[in-house]
Amino acid sequence: MSNNFAIVNDTLMPEDKASLQVNDLVIQRGYGVFDFFRTINGKFIYLDEHLDRFFYSASKMRMDPGRSKEKVRELINELVSVNKFPDSAIRIMLTGGFADDGYTVTKPNLIITQRVFGMTTENDETGTTLASYEHQRQLPHIKTVDYIMMIWLRPFMNKKLVTDVLYHQDRIVTECPRSNIFIVTRDLRIVTPADNILKGITRKHVIDIAKKDFMVEEKNVTIEDVLYAKEAFITSTTRQIAPVLELDGTEIGNGILGDITRQLQNELIKSLLS
Ligand code: PLP
């Protein structure tokens, strides 16, 4: 049992009392969107951008949030003031709504939850090891609740002894199930896929940071480009910047956290704490 509070449709309640009717389309069909962001020392990280993406996802899924961004922001503030978790992760979700016919989007339900989630100020050296997997996420630019493939692939990952997978289509890589990928080429350009991905908020900030010192390109990246890269890393709200140490059993670069990834980590951590 948790002591966290949650919000369901503008009402604050203990999280273990928060519930939805079983005929909600998110339960019946997995139809819903969400966004996920952090607070560090009580400060919201990139809240405007997450709210913008949440409303974008809702509109692309033809769902009416039923409230303004300002109202959702007020609700988030209300939740934060009750939970009092300075370092946390907040999830805002909009469901397809209660649908007796099982397919018509009705009045979406809004759910906001918060968890304690500490920030790492150390450089992430552990990073990730990847196995490539041919798959294209449905509606990739929308942050839907569909993470079926990621969960379904757990035994594949265990068999390959990796910590994550890298999706690709005809050897053109897109992203990992919960993060974006970047490579540092041997001539020191920073390249990240542009198409068929979720445009991560961390990705955007890392591009901005990297542009100060490097040439950054958003364009196709192949599996071979990753294997041949000097360094590679993933970005996400949860992982920040984590080095990719290995892909399909081949070490990337020296197989350890590289200097450029470290530099970008340092700058991102500095900006998150400022
Ligand atoms: N790509 C996918 C498919 C994701 O689910 C996520 C985050 O969950 C990301 C990329 C990274 O996005 P962000 O940096 O906004 O967390």
DSSP state letters, 4-27:
-EEEETTEEEEGGG----TTBHHH
Residue nearest to atom 12 of ligand 1 (CA): 200
Q: Is 192 in the pocket of ligand 1 (CB under 6 A)?
A: no
What distance in Å separates the CA atoms of residue 201 and residue 38, rounded to the nearest whole number?
12
Mutate to test the pocket of ligand 1, among 92, 236, 240, 271 (most ligand atoms within 8 A of CB): 236
Q: What pLDDT sits at residue 225?
A: 98
Looking only at the bridges linking them, the beta strands covering 164-169 and 110-116 are: unpaired
Q: What is the pLDDT of residues 44-102, one digit of tens each?
A: 999 999 999 999 999 999 999 999 999 999 999 999 999 999 999 999 999 999 999 99
Q: What pLDDT sits at residue 121?
A: 86
Residue nearest to atom 1 of ligand 1 (CA): 179
Q: What pLDDT sits at residue 205?
A: 98
What distance in Å separates the CA atoms of residue 235 and residue 182, rounded to the nearest whole number?
8
Contact 131, 166 (CB under 8 A): yes
Share of the chain above pLDDT 70, in %: 99
